[in-house]
Chain A
C-alpha cells in the first residue's frame, strides 16, 4: 500500500536533475544582462515559480469542480495538496520578485499588475487554508474548500485586468516611474532557451511534489479513519 511507485522514483530523479540543470544553465549558459547585471538571473527562477503558482491555482479550481461533481474525497486531497504547494511556489515567486526589483528600481516593492496579482493569489491560498482549518466535518470542509477554490480562480483574471487598467492610467509612482516597471529587458535567444527550460523543469518538479503531497494526504486520511474506528 505504501511502497513508492516506480514512476514516482523516476520522477524524483528527473526533478532533481532538472533543477540542477536549470541552475547550471542560469549561472553559466545564460548571458549576463547588460544593465542589471547578475541579479537579472533571479528572473528565471522567479517566473518559473510564479508560473507553477498559477498552475496550482488552476488545478485547485479543477479539483474543486471535480469534487463537487463526484463527491469523491480523492479530489479534496488533490485540492489541499495543490493549494499547499501553490503557496510555497508563490511565496518564492513573491520574494524573488522583490529581490529582483530592489537593485533595479531602488524599491523592495512595485505595485505592478503581475506582482500585485501574485500577492492577492497568495492571500486567497491562505484564506483557503484558514477556511479549512475552521471546519471540523471532513465532507463540509471538502465542499467549502472546493467552492472557494472556484471563486478564487474566477476572480484572479478579473483582478489582474483591473490592476492592469489601473496601471495604464496611473503609472508606477513609487520608486522608478519608468514605464518598464513591468520588467523590461530584451531577451536574447539564449535567454529565451533558459527561460523555457526553467518553466518546463519546474513544472515537472511541481507534478513530482504534487504526487508526493497527494500520497501524504491519503496517508493522513487513513490515519484519520483508523482513529475514528478505534474511538468507537
Chain B
C-alpha cells in the first residue's frame, strides 16, 4: 500500500459506516423495530419466567443476551436486505477501494445499531427489575459480545440475504456458530452482576476476546468470497 492508501481506506470506511447510519437516522426503521422487538422479548420473559427477586438475579444475564441475540438477528437481516434490494451492493463494489472496507464498514455500522439497542435495553431492564446494569465490567462484556456477534453475523447475513429462504436462514446459520460467544458473554455478565472475583470471570473474558480475534481474522480472510459477484 502506498502512502496515500491508509487515509483513503479510512475515509472510505467512514463513508460506508456513515451511509448506513445516516440512512437509518432518516428512516429509523431498523432501530425502532430492533428496539420494540427487544422490549417485547423482555416483557415476554417477565411473564414466561415468573421469577422472584432472587431467581431473577441468576437469570438476568441469560435474558439479556437472548434479547440481544434475537434483536441483533433482526438488525443484521434488515441491514443486508436493504442493501441487496436497493442494489447498493453493486455500486459499492465498483468503488476503487479495498473490498474489506465494505465488510468492516457494514460490521461497524451493525455494531453501532446493536450497541444503540443495548443502550436502551439496559436502562429499561434496570428500571423494571431494580438492578444496576451500568457496571463497567458488564458494559465491557456487552461490547465484546456485540463485536463478535456482529462480525460473524454480518458475514453470514451477506450470504443468507442471497438465498431464497433469507429471513429464516440467518438465525439457522448464526446461532450454532455463535454459541461459544453467547456462553462466555452470559457467564461473564453474570459474574460481574454477582460481583464475583475477577479470577472467576477471567476465563470467560478470555474466551470472548479469543472468539472475537479469531473470527475477525477469519472474516477478513473470507469476506472477499462472500461479496464478489
Contacts and interface: CB of A to CB of B under 8 A. Distances in A.
> Are A and B direct contacts in the complex by CB distance below 8 Å?
yes
Interface of A: 68, 120, 123-124, 126-127, 130-131, 133-136, 140, 143-144, 146-148, 150-152, 154-155, 158-159, 161-163, 165-166
B165 A130 contact: yes
Interface stretch (B91-99, B113-121, B127-135, B218-226): B218-226
A159 B207 contact: no
6 contacts: A131-B159, A131-B163, A143-B225, A144-B162, A165-B207, A166-B183
B172 interface: yes
Contacts of B179: 120, 155, 159, 162
**In the complex, the 5 A-B pairs of residues with the closest C-beta atoms, listed nearest first:** A134-B163, A158-B180, A162-B180, A162-B183, A155-B177
Contacts of B184: 162
B117 to A, nearest CB: 24
A162 B145 CA distance: 14
Nearest to A116: B179
Interface in B157-176: 159-160, 162-166, 169, 172-173, 175-176
B150 interface: no
B225 A151 contact: no
B207 A161 contact: yes
A166 B187 contact: yes
B215 A134 contact: no
A160 B225 CA distance: 28
B176 A144 contact: no
A158 B207 CA distance: 8
Contacts of B166: 134
A35 B184 CA distance: 37
Contact of A148 (B162, B173, B203): B173
Contacts of B203: 165
Contact of A154 (B165, B218, B226): B218
B156 interface: yes
B164 A134 contact: yes
A144 B226 contact: yes
B198 interface: no
B172 A127 contact: yes
B163 A68 contact: no
Contact of A147 (B176, B180, B204, B225): B225
A159 B187 CA distance: 14
B164 A127 contact: no
